[in-house]
Amino acid sequence: MILLEAKNVANVYDNDRGLKEATFTLHSGRILALVGGNGAGKSTLIRLLTGQEKQKSGEMIWHKPQAIRYMPDDVDFPTMLTAAEILELLASLKQVDKYEQEHVLKRVSLWDVRRQQAKQFSKGMLQRLNLAQSLLGSGSLLILDEPTNGLDPFWIAQLKNMMLEEKEKGNTVIFSTHLLSFAEEIADDILVLHEGKIIVSGTITNIFLQEDATSLEEIWLKRINL
């Protein structure tokens, strides 16, 4: 089922960065990866999808209203609050019960340190807390902005499993990353962005066939050097 049709969507900033006339389709129950380097337009697209910004031109047509769970690329958690207090505060906004709060803390292996203040957490632990808050609730669309940032190889593997679990539940996942190999391993559909434009799009299988390539890295390097 089609969830969203984006037609010539653009949101360009004064520095000429942002998103330029993006056209794509989002399907339910699949994992969509937004890949590209810094300044490619990935985060701008995510801000449009989450309603943080409004496109300056083009159309975004939602075929079915979506409750969104969102993991931003960076969060300044209150440093004096504990992990449990932070999650409880955010859970109250989503009307999530105590059981689910405990479940997600255990899921990201922060249960044993739930009473520690955020200022005591490493970058990786803060990223896992960020992941935990995004898993709260029942929204069928999960959007993750650079979710691998600060995670070690073990937790990148755990993140992959969690995203696949979301898909198995019938949920839709969108994530941005500059790790092309990670996108290859997990995504059903790919949008490759460069300098604000979608330069390649489609299913991972079709992209490899159309581009006569065996990796996203090969495709990306070929395209940006055109």
d(CA 187, CA 175): 9
Predicted pLDDT at 220: 85
The answer on 148 and 127 residing in a single domain is no
What amino acid is encoded at 173 in this protein?
V
The answer on 216 and 171 residing in a single domain is yes
Which of 86, 114, 138 is the last residue in one of the domains? 138
The answer on 203 and 143 residing in a single domain is yes
Average pLDDT over residues 181-198: 95
The answer on 89 and 34 residing in a single domain is no
d(CA 201, CA 168): 23
Counting Cβ atoms within 10 Å, is residue 201 exposed (0-12), middle (13-18) or buried (19+)? middle
Taking only the tens place, the pLDDT of each residue in 8-52 is: 999 999 888 999 999 999 999 999 999 998 889 999 999 999 999
The answer on 153 and 102 residing in a single domain is no
Pull the structure tokens for residue 177.
Answer: 């990353």
Print the domain residue range for 18: 2-67+139-224
The answer on 161 and 126 residing in a single domain is no
Predicted pLDDT at 187: 97
Taking only the tens place, the pLDDT of each residue in 56-111 is: 999 999 998 889 999 999 889 999 999 999 999 999 998 999 999 999 999 999 99
Taking only the tens place, the pLDDT of each residue in 127-169 is: 999 999 999 998 899 999 999 999 999 999 999 999 999 999 9
Predicted pLDDT at 65: 81
Residues 215, 180: contact at Cβ < 8 Å? yes
Q: How confident is the model at residue 224 (pLDDT cuts 50, 70, 90)?
A: confident
Predicted pLDDT at 16: 87
Q: Convert 140-177 to b/e letters by CB count within 10 Å (16 or more is b).
A: bbbbbbbbbebbeeebeebbbebbeebbeeebbbbbbb
Predicted pLDDT at 226: 59
The answer on 29 and 84 residing in a single domain is no
Q: How many domains does the chain have?
A: 2
